[in-house]
Amino acid sequence: MFNPGLVHTPVTPFTGDQSIDYETYTKVLEFHLRNGADALALPMPAGEDLSLTDPEQQKLLEFAIKQVRGRVPVIAHASDAGTALAVDRAVHAEKAGAAAIVSHPPYFWHPKPALVVDHLVQIGSAVGLPFFIYNPPVETAGMSLTTDIVLQLVERLPNLVGVVDSSFDWVFMVEAISNGQRIRPEFQLLTGAEFIVSAWAVGGTGAFSPLSGIAPRVVRKLYELCREEKYVEARPLQEEIAALHHAVTEAGASRLKDGLAGIKTAMACMGRDCGVPRPPVHPLGQGERRKLTEVIDGMDFLKNEPYGW
């Protein structure tokens, strides 16, 4: 069974002319490999997948797989508004050497549940790799998964190994994992962010981590404590990560709700400048950047995190 563990989701660095900065991307990948990643998933929302053209996504994935050289599994993100487009991405990822595929409901529209099921079945059926379905925040994809959708997919996709949840809907998580495992005992629940304690208390076994580019040590320690079911000991670390999540998300709330600009700014504060997001995402303004820098400087736990590459 493919169990990815703690999955880092790297950012995509850009140069001043908004092209992908592969020199810095090499540093990003190597940083994650040295700092606790059991696997990498890319390009996820933190990697600005929506801002990349199809050729760029293909080249980025190929570059990452070549750079990683099998040291950890690389999970390819294959999502799109159109089923054929997402299928093409999944097929390309398998040929390129990805270890697994992750995909979520079609972007930016609200199809009926039966259409979501068919969309994901076609993607998962197009490859022989382990397949994860991703439940994103509704403002990101426009359509959330339901327990019924998950169970239909478990029935129809023999390579479906788990659900990655970023909705923070605890009822959904409990229903999905408990009912999913009745059909397939090895079915997995992974969190789509670093709020691990609550999810693991109801059966989680892994996590996707956008904040590991900022604070990989505390994320790793939090993950290990949860894996050992030491939830009381994990709670202070969970609170530290929650404070960091709030800081990067709120830094540019007027410009971007999911915190891409905040993550890149916080990484720059830690000596790992990856440029600014691509349009239509705005970089933080001078005042927003100064405020976030002050908050990051005031987080004592970050003093124990690596600085620079």
How many independent structural domains does the chain possess?
1
For the whole model, what pTM was predicted? 0.95
Place of tokens 């059966």: 203
Q: Is residue 298 part of a domain?
A: no
Q: Is residue 112 part of a domain?
A: yes
162 phi, psi to nearest 5 deg: 175, 175
pLDDT at 6 over 90: yes
Q: Is residue 253 part of a domain?
A: no
- The string of pLDDT tens digits covering residues 236-284 is 999 999 999 999 988 766 554 458 899 999 999 999 999 999 988 889 9
Average pLDDT over residues 114-129: 97
Q: Is residue 85 part of a domain?
A: yes
Q: Is residue 14 part of a domain?
A: yes
Q: Is residue 268 part of a domain?
A: no
202 phi, psi to nearest 5 deg: -105, 10
Q: What residues make up the domain containing 192?
A: 6-229
Q: Is residue 249 part of a domain?
A: no
d(CA 49, CA 64) in angstroms, rounded, equals 14
Q: Is residue 260 part of a domain?
A: no
Average pLDDT over residues 88-104: 97
| CATH assignment of the domain containing 145 | 3.20.20.70
